[in-house]
Structure 1
Amino acid sequence: MARQDTIKLQGIHGSPYTRKMLAVLRFRRLPYRFIVNWPQSPDAPGNGEGRSALPTPKVPLLPTVYLKDEAGELQAVTDTTPIIRRLESQFRTRSIVPDNPVLAFLNYVLEDYADEWLTRCMFHYRWHFAADIEKAGRVLPLYVRVNQSPEMLDAVSAAFTRRQVDRLHVVGSNETTAPVIEASYVRFLKLMESHLQAHPFLLGGRPASADFAMMGQLTCLTHFDPTPMRLCETLAPRVYAWVERLDDLSGYEVQEQGWLDAGDALPETLLALLGEVARTHMPQLIANGRAVIGKNETFSTQIDGCDWVQPSFSYQLKCLRWTREEFQSLSSKDQASARAILDKTGLSRLIDAQLATD
């Protein structure tokens, strides 16, 4: 893709993954056009030729990014983590993946935690508590068409809210898991607040893709949904400010050597965040993987000493396998360094746990 090409991205402001990708494009100073629209909707006002002139993704998700393939044909792609790596291979300036392989692996682990665990927190708080349901149900449908009539908004809001609340169980939010999710969000806020006291970003003096993944989910949790936003304002003012700051870092100048030195001892605050991944995200990833391989529709496990039960989800087995592939791609020396960190933070089972017949 030539530098002058404009990247088209379709999404809405209330989507955490849309916000993640927009912030990445701004920081990397890549030209883009933001098409505000839901994936299932007809072309929205103000989009010019709109989506009718663009390819259709295999699965309609937010955001959809339109990139040219090797033959120069436009493709519709929807998974932010591989999209970010694809852009990394095309543009090296202002990279958001550390050049040190061990740090790059830790960045991948933290990005997956944000995309796949913090999103549970986001969806739970948004569609579990009455005040949050009311706000999201009435505001989110307006992002594409703000001039809907009151009657249309009432109908759209009711249908949208019902659909989202009915999906709570899919992401693992239910009466059994709610206390686990809420306790994990509070811990994360405190851990991130502590880390930001000494470091502007997760991995040093420049943002990584994991920063933008966390920021994406937190745009909802800390800046839109009332219940988790109050918690952040009370417990983690640095996190609140950090999220707004990351939204547009186009003017932030980075040093090429701005990453943490992987040869030195990593900050205890970063190790504590990795420990949180081991405490919450890792157990359900492994249990889910075993359930999917065993063709079980649901799975149960223990997270932080509490029961966890939810439907199994094949995509998260892919996430676990991709993480393991990232580890296997490291040299023997880097694997040994990464394994020492995994052992220290309780994350070794993320790589080593058997998945039954896998």
Structure 2
Amino acid sequence: MSDRPIRLYGAKISMFTGKVRSYLIKNHIPFEEAAVSDPHFVNHIVPKIGRNIIPVIETADGTIVQDTTDIIDYFEAHVSPRVSAYPDDALTHLLALIFEVFGDLGLTRPAMHYRWSFPDQTNGFITHGFSAGLGPDASEQQRAGVDKAIKKFSGFLPMLGVTAETIPEVERSYLELLSLLDPHFVRHPYFLSPRPTMADYSMMCSLYAHLGRDPVPAGLMKNHAPNMYRWTERMNLPHDDLSDMPYYSPSETRPETLGPILSYIGQYFMPQYQANVEILNALPVPISGTRASLHPKFFVLGMASFNHGDVSITSAVTPMMFYMSQRVSDFYATLSDTEQSKARDYLSPYGLEGLLISTAKYRVTRKDHLEVWE
């Protein structure tokens, strides 16, 4: 690969850009970050990928990769990463993939709630983030485009199950998660090992750009989980930054503090996943290679209802849920009988064994930067 820096098209305010950016930083991969207003992105990248979406990377030879998992896997295959996102130990590798599903998809609801439900306290910051790259002389048309984008994204809340009835539970369960994550990060610099893995990169999606930077949730994180907030800072630095953890001794032993976090995922994410599978399985047999969606504009397969704490939540079912969860079951299928038994024994007490063997009738893949039926 050329020494010319990778170009990352994204934004500081973007949920998924944070996942890719931290991977590049931690692996000392030279890159330059460009805004979506960059003319090359508008005139060259968007027509190539067929939609205005970030993050996207472009290499020196013109290779374009979109979607965070695809981007990380591209570098895993074409660069010798300083630290692979995938641990050598089979069970730890499996855990990294489970955290990837949860990090990419399981925290979208609180992330979007805290971004869009407090306009009086957040609009200045959010508008600034969506205006990145426009500069002080932005045209009225450009500013109108920012307002349109903000209206579009804030309008997703009902589709995500954020309503007046569910908001108290969304907030309560998020604070519960912070109470579980902070004791982990006072003892460990990363989720699974002394080094960052896919678990860390994926959890950066919501926990950094939305919940760690936006005014309202950033205050909550700093006050309720300061050690976890330090993790978000650590993930944006090329070194480990353990200056406030002089007591830490690196160990390959799996952290005991993972247990409560995994129980949380089993309790709050698995009902959503299982409800999503039921919706998928009720669909007519899809045509291989066609767009995985029932909506002309959005990748949506239907709406699923499930229990979350004391409330029932109804939210959109997206094909990405299956594309990501397949990575867990596909990797599990490659393990030896002994390794599979070890994985089941470890994950069953947390209610996560349902991710190991997929019961979804149809598979989703990605082709030409889109989710399609396999």
Q: CA deviation at 1:233?
A: 1.9
Equivalent residue in structure 1 for 2:76, among 79, 83, 88? 88
Decide whether the 8 Å contact of 2:280 with 2:360 is kept in 1. Answer: no
Decide whether the 8 Å contact of 1:63 with 1:78 is kept in 2. Answer: yes
- Aligned-partner SS, 1:308: strand
Decide whether the 8 Å contact of 2:268 with 2:308 is kept in 1. Answer: yes
Rounded Cα–Cα distance in structure 2 between residues aligned with 1:335 and 1:59: 40
Equivalent residue in structure 2 for 1:173, among 162, 165, 174? 162
The yes-or-no answer on 1:321 pairing with 2:321 is no
- Aligned-partner SS, 2:16: helix
Rounded Cα–Cα distance in structure 1 between residues aligned with 2:82 and 2:302: 44
Q: CA deviation at 1:276?
A: 1.2
Which residues of structure 1 form unaligned runs of 5+?
A: none
Q: CA deviation at 1:191?
A: 1.0
Decide whether the 8 Å contact of 1:27 with 1:252 is kept in 2. Answer: no
Which has the higher mean CA deviation after the structures are superposed, 313-322 or 191-200? Answer: 313-322
Rounded Cα–Cα distance in structure 2 between residues aligned with 1:357 and 1:51: 34
The Cα offsets for residues 135-187 of structure 1, whole Å up to 9 and x where unpaired, read as 35421232121214595676344323221221223333233432332223212
Q: Would you tell me which structure has more helix in proportion to its own residues?
A: 1
Q: CA deviation at 1:60?
A: 3.3
What's the counterpart of residue 312 of structure 1?
Answer: 317
Matched residue type, 2:193:
G
Q: CA deviation at 1:23?
A: 1.4
Q: Percent identity?
A: 25
Q: For residues 96 and 319 of structure 1, do their structure 2 counterparts lie closer, same or farther at Cα, with a shift above 3 Å needed?
A: closer
What's the counterpart of residue 22 of structure 2?
Answer: 23
Rounded Cα–Cα distance in structure 2 between residues aligned with 1:110 and 1:120: 16
Which residues of structure 2 form unaligned runs of 5+?
A: 243-248, 284-300, 364-374
Decide whether the 8 Å contact of 1:36 with 1:144 is kept in 2. Answer: yes
What's the counterpart of residue 187 of structure 1?
Answer: 176
Q: CA deviation at 1:351?
A: 2.8
The Cα offsets for residues 97-131 of structure 1, whole Å up to 9 and x where unpaired, read as 21111101101111221111123221121112223
Equivalent residue in structure 2 for 1:64, among 29, 38, 56? 56
CA RMSD of aligned residues (A): 2.8
What's the counterpart of residue 147 of structure 2?
Answer: 158
Rounded Cα–Cα distance in structure 2 between residues aligned with 1:118 and 1:284: 12
Decide whether the 8 Å contact of 1:176 with 1:307 is kept in 2. Answer: no
Equivalent residue in structure 2 for 1:300, among 293, 305, 311? 305
Matched residue type, 1:308:
I
Rounded Cα–Cα distance in structure 1 between residues aligned with 2:163 and 2:128: 24
The Cα offsets for residues 265-302 of structure 1, whole Å up to 9 and x where unpaired, read as x4331111111111112211121121123137222111
Matched residue type, 1:31:
P
What's the counterpart of residue 204 of structure 1?
Answer: 193
The yes-or-no answer on 1:335 pairing with 2:324 is no
Q: For residues 154 and 233 of structure 1, do their structure 2 counterparts lie closer, same or farther at Cα, with a shift above 3 Å needed?
A: same
Matched residue type, 1:326:
F
- Aligned-partner SS, 2:252: coil
Q: CA deviation at 1:332?
A: 1.6
Decide whether the 8 Å contact of 1:135 with 1:225 is kept in 2. Answer: no
Rounded Cα–Cα distance in structure 2 between residues aligned with 1:83 and 1:158: 29
What's the counterpart of residue 218 of structure 1?
Answer: 207
- Aligned-partner SS, 1:288: helix
What's the counterpart of residue 112 of structure 2?
Answer: 123
What's the counterpart of residue 271 of structure 2?
Answer: 283
Q: CA deviation at 1:244?
A: 1.4
Decide whether the 8 Å contact of 1:206 with 1:258 is kept in 2. Answer: no
What's the counterpart of residue 99 of structure 1?
Answer: 88
- Aligned-partner SS, 1:125: helix
- Aligned-partner SS, 1:207: coil
Decide whether the 8 Å contact of 2:160 with 2:314 is kept in 1. Answer: no
Q: For residues 193 and 160 of structure 1, do their structure 2 counterparts lie closer, same or farther at Cα, with a shift above 3 Å needed?
A: same
Equivalent residue in structure 2 for 1:345, among 347, 350, 373? 350
Q: For residues 83 and 270 of structure 1, do their structure 2 counterparts lie closer, same or farther at Cα, with a shift above 3 Å needed?
A: same
Decide whether the 8 Å contact of 2:326 with 2:358 is kept in 1. Answer: no
Q: CA deviation at 1:78?
A: 1.6
The yes-or-no answer on 1:260 pairing with 2:232 is no
Rounded Cα–Cα distance in structure 2 between residues aligned with 1:269 and 1:77: 35
The Cα offsets for residues 217-242 of structure 1, whole Å up to 9 and x where unpaired, read as 22234443222122112211111222
Matched residue type, 1:293:
N
Matched residue type, 2:56:
T
Give TM-score, length-normalised by structure 2: 0.81
Decide whether the 8 Å contact of 1:126 with 1:136 is kept in 2. Answer: no
Q: For residues 319 and 259 of structure 1, do their structure 2 counterparts lie closer, same or farther at Cα, with a shift above 3 Å needed?
A: farther
